[in-house]
Amino acid sequence: MQSQKKEHPTSGKNPIALVTGANKGIGFQIAKALSHNGYTVYFSSRDLLKGVSAVKEVGGKSEAIQLDVTDSTSITSAVSKIKGEHGKLDLLVNNAAISNTGLHGRTLAQALADQMASVASINEMRTVWETNVFGVLGVTQAFLPLLQNSNTPRIVNVSSGLGSLTFNMDPSNPHRYMFDVIYGASKTALNGITVSLAIELEKLGIKVNAVSPGFASTALNNFEGTETVEEASMEPIRVALEEDGPSGIFTGPGGVIIPW
């Protein structure tokens, strides 16, 4: 299908990227790699000072920007800032996510047990989905006009293999017991949004993909993951930097295709 995207006068110059939740963890590693590859990167964080600190560590053509994906006013302000400074966005990485509303002395295993469907707090589910699902779509919708001003527009949604329904319905999968309705199902919903966007935006030439970092040791899981953040960031970085790849693909560590 041919793209109907219009050429923008600045679209081929100085690639611009926005990474949500870029002040730490996987988001920081993605933003740093993009910066080192010639991008002007907006390191977004809810707390602007944390973003400023991250940018100072990386250097290059980077800038901190305040962005709370659950706050429409914050999203609008971020769009206005990037539009005023560059008039376009080449790459949107939706990385910001939470796994629970706070461990509150619980281990990861205890928190996971509390998030199973039969006992899960509906209020906690709403809070997590507000960031992981509705926040992602809200940010994406707001930045679509700027993405349409790029020659190489891409959206990368940082998901999780835990969200794969195919994997979770496979009895041989030893991790299927971890599929909960608060975090795991939020990634399933995110995958659904990714597929919907990929199909709709194909005609505009905007590529939309999902990527799983694997089980990284980050604040998301109380640093109980099995991979370092540097190891886990390799596939998200590869997908983010790929300008001429496919759309509508879900990959994991090593570029392995993950079934939706």
* Residue 1 domain-assigned (yes or no): no
Query: In sequence order, what are the residues at sequence separation of 6 or more whose Cβ sits closer than 8 angstroms to the Cβ of residue 253?
Result: 212, 213, 214, 227, 231, 232, 234, 235
Contact by Cβ (8 Å): 225, 15: no
* Residue 9 domain-assigned (yes or no): no
Please give the pLDDT value at position 59: 87
* Residue 260 domain-assigned (yes or no): no
* Residue 71 domain-assigned (yes or no): yes
Half-sphere exposure of 239 (CA within 13 A, CB side): 34
**Host H or E run for residue 257:** none
pLDDT digits (tens, 9 = 90+) for 175-191: 899 999 999 999 999 99
Please give the pLDDT value at position 6: 42
Calpha distance 40→93 (Å, rounded): 13
What percent of the chain clears pLDDT 90, i.e. is strictly above it? 81
Number of domains in the chain: 1
The two three-digit tokens of residue 28, written as one number: 């920081």
* Residue 97 domain-assigned (yes or no): yes
Please give the pLDDT value at position 220: 54
Calpha distance 160→151 (Å, rounded): 28
State the residue range of the domain holding 136.
Answer: 16-255
Average pLDDT over residues 65-82: 98
Catalytic residues: 183, 187
Higher-pLDDT residue of 47 and 228 is 47
Q: Is the pLDDT of residue 107 over 90?
A: no
Report DSSP letters for 26-50, one per residue. Answer: HHHHHHHHHHHTT-EEEEEESSHHH
Calpha distance 138→20 (Å, rounded): 12
Please give the pLDDT value at position 226: 56
Q: What is the mean pLDDT of the chain?
A: 91
Average pLDDT over residues 7-12: 43
Contact by Cβ (8 Å): 157, 186: no
- Confidence band, pLDDT 50/70/90 cuts, at residue 45: very high
pLDDT digits (tens, 9 = 90+) for 115-135: 999 999 999 999 999 999 999
Amino acid at 168: N
pLDDT digits (tens, 9 = 90+) for 137-177: 999 999 999 999 999 999 999 999 999 999 999 999 998 99
Q: Tell me which of 1-15, 114-128, 196-210, 234-248 is least confident.
A: 1-15
Please give the pLDDT value at position 49: 97
In the chain, the largest separation of any two C-alpha atoms, in whole Å, equals: 54
Q: Is the pLDDT of residue 108 over 80?
A: no
Q: The domain spanning residue 206 has which CATH number?
A: 3.40.50.720
C-beta neighbour count of 194 within 10 angstroms: 27
Q: Is the pLDDT of residue 46 over 80?
A: yes
Calpha distance 70→135 (Å, rounded): 5
Please state the φ and ψ torsions of residue 257, each to the nearest 5 degrees. Answer: -75, 130
* Residue 188 domain-assigned (yes or no): yes
* Residue 34 domain-assigned (yes or no): yes
* Residue 7 domain-assigned (yes or no): no
